[in-house]
Amino acid sequence: MAILTSYALQNETFAKIVSTEEAVITWLPDEESKSVTENGEEKPLKQRTIHSTNRLLRSDYQGINGVKTGTTPRAGNCLVAPQPGRADNWQLLY
């Protein structure tokens, strides 16, 4: 996982996503939610704020991104994250 994550973090979009604490997503679901566009036409629009489940992003640990967090029955608690400022320096936290 560390090798895969090291490679993935070279992609700016991926690096930004895994270090994002919260984001607003917008989609067009159905006719219930509508938004008025510049020309006055109505378009269905829905927004929701989503939050990362990675508590490290909200901690005092500066610079952490936390690529893989979570728990599975077989693996137990999991975390894959580079040490801040050192993409080549990995620490195992469990």
Q: What pLDDT digit, counting tens, does each position of 18-61 carry?
A: 888 899 988 776 665 566 666 767 666 778 999 988 887 888 77
| One-letter amino acid for residue 93 of the chain | L
According to the model, what pLDDT value does residue 23 have?
A: 93
Q: Which residue, among 23, 9, 13, has the nearest Cα to 54 in the 3D structure? A: 23
What percent of the chain stands above pLDDT 90? 10
Burial 35-62 (b: 16+ CB within 10 A, else e): eeeeeeeeeeeeeeeeebebebbeeeee
Full domain range(s) for residue 71: 2-90
Say which residue, 2 or 74, is predicted with more confidence. 74
Domain count for the chain? 1
